[in-house]
Amino acid sequence: MPYKKTAQEVIDFLKSDISGLTEKAAKESLLENGFNELKATKKVSSFKLFFESFKSTLVLILLIVVLIQLFFGEFVESLVILIVLIFNALLEVIQTKKAETSLENLKKLSAPNVKVIRDKKKLTIPARELTLGDIVILEAGDYVPSDGRIIEAKTLKVVEGILTGESEPVLKNLETIIDGTPLHDRKNMVFSGTMVVYGRGIFIVTAIGMNTELGKIANLLENAEVKKTQLQIKLDNFSKKLGIGILFLAIVIFGVEFLREYFAVISRKDIIKVIFDTFMFSVAIAVAAIPEALSSIVTIVLAVGTNDMAKKQAIIRKLPAVEILGSTSVICTDKTGTLTQNKMTVVDFFMSGIDKNYLTRSKTNDSFQIKMLNLISVLCNDSHVNKDGKKLGDPTEIAFIDYFNKNLGNLEEIKKEYKRFYEIPFDSTRKIMTTINKIDNKIFMLTKGAPDIIFSKCKYILHNNEIMEVEKNKNLLNEYKNKNENFSANTFRVLAFAMKEINDFSETKIYTDDEKDLSLVGIMAMMDPPRKEVLYAIQEAENAGIKTIMITGDHRSTAFAIARQIGIIKDKKIAITGEELDKMSAVDLAKNLINIRV
């Protein structure tokens, strides 16, 4: 596996080079390995789908009934049954065709073009022409076009929610990883269909097309075994028992009636007529016993259910699948993007000496402290909005942009007004980012980052717009530390903001050693909030006797807090980790399952 090897070992194994493949080698590899694209299996024709719906036992029995009734001249009743069966078949074909979009949606996640290095030159080529050993350049806003081993990373952050379900971007690195590491922890790899939100990097292609992790999902979708629903199984069993019962009944009736007629007939010349009349009587009784309206009723009920689901933006591929909703007793759901909005959002603040209620409703610049907190959050920030209006960057930084645009003003105007002269980018070692900006004809160093790191670099604290020394006012810093712990306990992501006025900025650069003697301005808390409709939906499910269980890759405390907030966890219900689940015996699991909710 590439993640277990060093970058150079992967390059050597794929017979590539840091300066890229030659055009000749790329063409040979393309011929050998095929194009970098997801391949769909041949779709079942509408004609075949139509006739497949006639395979159920009940439908076959009804078709036999139609033939018998036609023989008896019952044309109207036969026509009604045929119309219902045809309607049922057409409805299933339409629903199936509507739902055959899963693979097409996955294909849309592939990048149309990609930047590669070939023959020591930087080129832009169609993503489908990418091949094993290609050296690919990634920048913020790019979709990753294939799976690959990272060979260079400059604060490279990638959102891998499509594969892992996590909205938080993953900071990539070059370190080798031990065997058996789960997909979401393979930080030296990038995967097809994921998106770069921050920094830049270079990787070597290790898998393309259907061999990528995304391709494996596409393959599962194509080859998933189609199983019958409980309704289909019960209807088939009922139809078989009904068929056998009616056949037995017809034979008994035929035997009894034949014997009665046989002994009543004086002339043995009429025996053939007796047999024919008795047979026709038995068939008539058998046909009458068949509930031909059953198929119609089932189809109509399922069609109504399907229509209701469609109004709620849920496409049902097979009509009988609607019935599953009626017999559901447990719902197992993902958290990120399902129960939550999959979008980091600013939810709380703390600023020493500033009333939070005033802070959240203030859109003016009458408070220097409030103004600086808001400015630092968007000026010391590398996220941006492209020409198409799409926000690119780290989800945390985008949260600050969203808050600013919604509550305080236009971001682009602010960036033009308060020019940036220089920056020290965020990195995983320092855990902070710094920029130099001109604000109201003064030069300021603006810094944001992990609260503990920022606290350690602050010599001063802004308290109700006044600058106070930390040494003389340690209680103020303790306030911040306590508030940070409270936010963290509620599973919020917290960032701290600080500043320093620079009187003499004649240099064109600043250094990490300059990130000291700062003034602490405030902290902001963010989270991926629950969807507004989720609380009601979970309560409605509970009222219907349906238990909801959350399954997520998040930390236990984060998942527990969200579950408690939306009503999944109440009373003595618990959350367990995958590791704890693996250690449970079947007996222990059965014993504890009634209380497990996360």
Provide the annotated active-site residues: 334
Separation CA 460–CA 453 (nearest Å): 14
Separation CA 271–CA 288 (nearest Å): 26
Separation CA 227–CA 106 (nearest Å): 23
Q: Which residues of 547-579 are buried (b: 16+ CB within 10 A; e: fewer)?
A: bbebebbbeeebbbbbbebbbbbeeebebbeee
Smallest CA-to-CA distance from 99 within 226, 248, 253 is with: 226
Name the maximum alpha-carbon separation found in the chain: 131
- Specify whether the CB–CB gap between 120 and 19 falls below 8 A: yes
Q: Look up residue 40 and give its two tokens.
A: 């769909």
CA 380 and chain centroid, separation: 30
Tally Cβ neighbours within 10 Å of residue 52.
14
503 by Cβ neighbours in 10 Å (0-12 / 13-18 / 19+) ranks as: exposed
Q: Look up residue 425 and give its two tokens.
A: 């980018």
E-assigned strand segments in 33-112? none
Length of the chain: 598
Separation CA 68–CA 62 (nearest Å): 10
Separation CA 146–CA 137 (nearest Å): 12
Angle between the N-to-C axes of helices 293-311 and 75-99, in degrees from 0 to 180, rounded to the nearest 10: 30
Angle between the N-to-C axes of helices 534-543 and 556-566, in degrees from 0 to 180, rounded to the nearest 10: 70
Smallest CA-to-CA distance from 436 within 333, 510, 523 is with: 510
CA dihedral 142, 143, 146, 150 (to 10 degrees): 50
Query: What Cα–Cα distance (Å) separates residue 313 from each residue in 309, 348, 432, 477?
Result: 7, 33, 42, 50
Identify the H or E element spanning 438. strand 432-439
Q: Look up residue 8 and give its two tokens.
A: 């150079």
Separation CA 125–CA 205 (nearest Å): 14
